[in-house]
Amino acid sequence: MSGFDLLINQERPIRILTTLLKNRTLPHALLFTGTAGVGKQAAALALAMACNCRGETSGFIAEDGFEQEPAGPALELCGVCKSCRKIAANNHPDIIQVQPRGPFIKIEQIRTVLQTLARKPYEAKTRVVIILEAQCMNASASNALLKILEEPPDRSMLVLIANHRSDLLPTITSRCQPVQFNRISRKRIASWIVKERGLNPQTAEIVAAMANGSLSNARTMIDENWLQGRKWLIAELQHLSLQPAARLLALAEKFAREKESLAGRLEIIKSWFRDLIINPYDRRKLINQDVGDRIKEASGKTDTRVHLSKLEAVQKMQSRLKANTNLRLSMEKLLIELAKP
């Protein structure tokens, strides 16, 4: 498979893009929004391939027997011509991807794009600039990009990729055609995990439930041995109220030190208390199905209102994490709260 065939659960965005290709009404700038990991970058590359495909599906044979250049982009990209293969391998000179350096996309990066767009494409019919995590542009970079959008160069198209439209300046979003991407359904992610990664259906369901509609999240969870870490964390949660204060402080220090894993661990903790709340009403909707007996035991020991209070404490910690708070102190406070009987 190649191009749009790789996208999962994105029928509406694909329909919009293929209609634009079919009608040859592609705008000079598009804005792809949606949860991280749902296929926005893959769609941008597929669009770049469709705009530059030189295979059998994009050309036609004239009466003299010679293949002619198509007048516009290809609705069905071949995926095997020289142009398609270069784009798929990320080595096409006219398909430019810009991403943050550190926390920001800086003005120097956008100025480089400006300089490139001032020249003719090396070999592409349509040069495509893909700006990943466009919400990371600082103010000066955003203003520099605005100049490109106000005076779009010939034979060039920009694709901005962000999580939310509101993350960008209104002056930028108003000059881009929006395309909203969907969260991928849990069922589709679970099916992909079973088929492509060979996990059993129950494990696939757990990963899919925790992936938050993102296929890239699911891939990362599997590749980074998330399942093993989840089992350890659930065992800790099950006996948290029996732990001495020194153990709770040590756990808080570990979580704060391993900051890159903290967001995922908080999601696991949240899923645990969610399951404790849901267990008395519908066990079929548990996320952590493989530890259902432990959930049943823990759920019956404490009033549901206590579990709700602890779930709210986890959610508040997730908000503090985004606010760049003192992680160690915040985790100490959270674990002490969760350890209360």
Tens digit of each residue's pLDDT (9 = 90 or more) over 87-122: 999 999 999 999 999 889 999 999 999 999 999 999
- Please answer whether residues 97 and 132 qualify as being in contact, where contact means their C-beta atoms are separated by less than 8 angstroms: yes
* Average confidence (pLDDT) over 123-135: 95
Distance set, CA 220 to CA 62, 166, 215, 217, 264 (Å):
49, 27, 9, 5, 11
Phi/psi class of residue 39: alpha, beta or left (left: φ > 0; alpha: ψ in -120 to 50)?
left
Q: pTM of the full predicted structure? A: 0.80
pLDDT at 75 over 60: no
Distance between the two ends of the chain, CA-based, in angstroms? 53
Q: For the domain bounded by 3-180, which CATH number is listed?
A: 3.40.50.300
d(CA 269, CA 235): 11
Task: Average the pLDDT over 193-204 and give the result.
Answer: 93
pLDDT for 62: 36
Indicate where the chain has its CATH 3.40.50.300 domain(s): 3-180
> Which amino acid, one-letter code, is at 201?
P
Q: Which CATH class is domain 225-338?
A: mainly alpha
> In this predicted model, what pLDDT tens digit does every residue of 130-184 receive, in sequence order?
999 999 998 999 999 998 999 888 899 999 999 999 999 999 999 999 999 999 9
Range(s) within the chain of domains with CATH label 1.20.272: 225-338
For residue 327, pLDDT over 80 is answered with: yes
